[in-house]
A = this chain, B = another copy of it.
């Protein structure tokens, strides 16, 4: 669809932006990607489109801005209803999918982020222990939801795949940073197989960031965060 009149305000490094792009790819929609440079300052268009949070991603469809990644994925699924569906059709499966997407956002990813921003080795080890616990919870969830198939969503990549899979690149960054595997054949074999299929999926592979580049970016964010934290505690 060439005339879908869709714009995405985002950054290459954000897992939340990645979700929106994967959903658009699944629906075979063309869109304009507008790269924001959050470090140098936010664009007028972003500030106007998301005045409450001033964050990416924003999807602009016609004149309508839609904010917050999981809300955008719902919107995409509800507007472009042609197959494939991103959310399952059964209400209980939908509720389960929303539950695990919320778990990924509210419980799991904050621990991944914590590994990168804490200042001591002890705090890093503690945060990493939480990440590893979360990965085991997700392994169990995967086994229940996928019922032996490739994705959380079954045969096809769906909502929970997008929600959890968008964090895989950042997981690889902390694996590198801590020299510890989070998703591995040994501890989370189902997630490990899923991660390979997810990353190489046609809707994903072009927006899956380069891990070395993301790791460099992560170290810059870490330095900025530690500097800001030090300034706050010594003022």
Contacts and interface: CB of A to CB of B under 8 A. Distances in A.
A78 interface: yes
B137 A99 contact: no
Nearest to A59: B95
Contact of A67 (B79, B99, B107): B99
Given A103-B52, A137-B52, A92 B71 contact: no
A171 interface: no
Given A75-B94, A78-B94, A94-B78, A99 B64 contact: no
A72 interface: yes
The A interface is mostly helix, strand or loop, or mixed, namely helix
A164 to B, nearest CB: 14
A91 B62 CA distance: 13
Interface string A90-106: 01101100110011000
A139 interface: no
B52 A71 contact: no
Interface in A82-135: 91-92, 94-95, 98-99, 102-103, 107
Contacts of A145: none
A29 interface: no
Contacts of A74: 94-95, 98
B137 A68 contact: no
A140 B103 CA distance: 30
A107 B103 CA distance: 18
Contacts of A78: 91, 94
Interface string A48-82: 00001000000001001011100110110011000
Contacts of A94: 74-75, 78
A214 to B, nearest CB: 26
Contacts of A79: 91
A59 to B, nearest CB: 9
Given A66-B92, A71-B98, A78-B91, 10 more contacts: A52-B99, A52-B137, A66-B95, A66-B99, A68-B102, A71-B99, A71-B102, A72-B95, A75-B91, A79-B91
